A and B are shown apart, each in its own frame.
Chain A
Amino acid sequence: MSAAALDARIGKPWKKPAFIRNPYLRWGLYISAAIYILLAVSSIEVNWARVSEGLVRGWNFLAAFAEPDFLSRGKDIREGMIESVIMTVASTVVGILISVPIGLGAARNIAPLPVYLICRGIVALSRALNEIIVAILMVAIFGFGPLAGFITLSFATIGFLSKLLAEDIEDMDRVQAEAIKATGSGWLQWINYGVQPQVMPRLIGLSMYRLDINFRESAVLGLVGAGGIGATLNTAFDRYEYDTAAAILIIIIVTVMALEYLSGIIRARVQ
């Protein structure tokens, strides 16, 4: 039997259904995406002479990773790292302390509407502003140094933690909270015994995660003058001291890996 006759008997072979059913919409999307990418790529101006010249430098930089120089700027690196760590710890602690009440206020099942709206507003504001932009403003207002970075990171922590905490509180088991209320508890006792035990594991996990993020962010805040290892890194790049820059990057990567590992262990233990 020929293939055509076979097709006629068993019908068309199965074809994978398309991602988007409507063919007009599908092709419209494909074509507009292609046009956009063409326009976008053609609007990028590349100075190829500069790039090819830079590739040598790029290779030097990669080679520097093979022999990073931890020592010749050892003091600067150490001070920068200590400052970064201090900013991270202090801002995470303050961020958590502030974000717990705001998180309670941003949970619709606990807070009355006016409080809810105010707290959601704070969360939205904190999340919409990029850390670097906040840091620039804080440096302009409070002057150079780790205080600006500390305030920036605390502010960013509030948006992150409050939002996730509020969502967790909204998802909590009402029965447990009601049982505490039925014993005649006050509001604080209700929060402490009815709500807090339910969200505590997640709060600890999120705090550890945020500590991790804050450290990573603290490494860049120095670029705009807000203290930390970023300033040292920026100086190293400006002086084309790639071996020192490589050393700093390696330290950052190792610290982040260690923090991630640690937070993984702690999160596994509390959950």
Chain B
Amino acid sequence: MPVSTLTDGRKAWQLRDRKAQLTRWFAYFAAVAVFMWCWKKISDSTTWFFVWDAPRIASDIGSRAFPPRWSYMEKLWEPLWDTLNMATLGTLLALVFAVPIAFLAARNTTPSAVFVRPVALLIIVSSRSINSLIWALLLVAIIGPGVLAGLLAIALRSIGFCAKLLYEAIEEIDHKQVEAVTATGANPLQVMAYGIVPQIMPAFAGVAVFRWDINIRESTVLGLVGAGGIGVQMQASLNTLAWPQVALILLVILLAVIVSEWVSAKVRGAII
């Protein structure tokens, strides 16, 4: 047990021995050094004059933004409907693709662990590592601005997320049930439908609703790059410095996020 000697010669307990303590201090030192270097880099590329001026700017923007321009609301209903559609249809489309990919990626259902599984995992990783805003940027460049680009961006981003969570759920299923269904003479498709699907159904529903909730948040900002939804209005208002409209849009987005979180919590509570 690590002990240290006090000044009067008594031994006292301490948490770590000297070697562990020194290693720890060295690690802290290195971490602080790295952080300070990063901070220096950020500081170098910052115009500090603007930062010192920030409180004034913030209060200026705040005073311009208040009160929100309520009459602008009538122009927001349609973008709001588009936003909802992008999130919902995008999630549905993603699930259509995510389910087969998840079955191909799960170790216990994949047809070939050497050839098919790595491809499925690569699809999952590529879809997950690119943010939906980048997908939207790409799709807007390819198929032009509009709701369709946003919908596809949401779908492409969600495939990886849903497939990853689903294939982890598939890998964790109880094998006895699968064996029991196999023992009745079921063919592979029947085994899947009666042995595996009922076990992952709660996870599937949970993932779908969870992702829908995230997608509502993400689809509110896709309009910034031209992919439809309420973000288009926000970008337009920001460009014309119409802060009262921006304030209203932010409030609407906040409300939409809260409602979607409430809905998803209710649905998940009802299913699981």
A interface with B by C-beta (< 8 Å)? 16, 19, 36-37, 40-41, 43-47, 50-51, 54-55, 57-58, 61, 82-83, 86-87, 89-90, 93, 128-130, 132-133, 136, 140-143, 145-147, 150, 216-217, 219-220, 223-224, 227, 230, 233-234, 237, 240, 245, 249, 252-253, 256-257, 260
Query: Which of B18-26, B81-89, B173-181 contacts the other chain?
Result: B81-89
* A146 & B142 in contact (Cβ 8 Å cutoff): no
Task: Evaluate contact between A132 and B221: CB separation under 8 angstroms.
Answer: yes
Q: Check A40/B85 contact, CB under 8 A, given A90-B39, A130-B253, A147-B42.
A: yes
Query: Once bound together, how far apart are the Cα atoms of A127 and B39, in whole Å?
Result: 25
The answer to the question of B158 belonging to the interface, with a C-beta cut-off of 8 Å to chain A, is: no
Query: Closest Cβ of chain B: how far from A182's Cβ, in Å?
Result: 17
Residues of chain A within 8 A of B133, CB atoms compared? 132, 220, 223
| Extra contacts besides A40-B88, A130-B217, A146-B45 (19): CB < 8 Å | A45-B147, A46-B148, A55-B142, A86-B41, A86-B42, A90-B38, A128-B257, A133-B253, A136-B238, A143-B47, A147-B45, A223-B137, A224-B224, A233-B134, A240-B141, A245-B138, A249-B134, A252-B129, A253-B129
In chain B between 22 and 80, which residues have their CB closer than 8 angstroms to a CB of chain A?
Answer: 31, 34-35, 38-39, 41-43, 45-47, 50-51, 54, 57-58, 61
The residue that B58 contacts in the complex, of A19, A86, A141, A233, with Cβ under 8 A, is: A141
Contact B129–A216 (Cβ < 8 Å): yes
Can you offer 13 A-B residue contacts whose CB atoms are under 8 A?
A16-B194, A43-B81, A50-B143, A54-B143, A55-B143, A83-B41, A86-B42, A128-B254, A130-B253, A142-B46, A145-B42, A147-B46, A256-B128
Q: Which residue of A lies closest to B127 (CB)?
A: A253
The answer to whether A51 touches B143, judged by C-beta atoms less than 8 angstroms apart, is yes
Given contacts A46-B148, A130-B217, A219-B131, contact A150 B42 (CB under 8 A): yes
- Main DSSP-derived SS at the B contact region: helix
Chain B residue contacts of A46, Cβ below 8 A: 146, 148
Number of interface residues of B (CB under 8 A): 56
B151 located at the interface, meaning its Cβ lies under 8 Å from any Cβ of chain A in the complex: yes
Report B221-252 residues with CB < 8 Å from chain A CB: 221, 224-225, 238, 250
- Contact between B35 and A90, CB atoms less than 8 A apart: yes
Q: A37-B89, A55-B142, A89-B34 are in contact. Are A142 and B45 (CB under 8 A)?
A: no
Say whether B142 contacts A253, CB under 8 Å. Answer: no
Contacts of B50 in A (CB 8 A): 142-143
Which of A86, A145, A240 interacts with B38 by CB under 8 Å?
A: A86
| Minimum CB–CB distance for A22 against chain B, Å | 13
Given contacts A44-B85, A140-B61, contact A61 B142 (CB under 8 A): yes
The answer, among A132, A146, A237, for a CB contact under 8 Å with B141, is A237
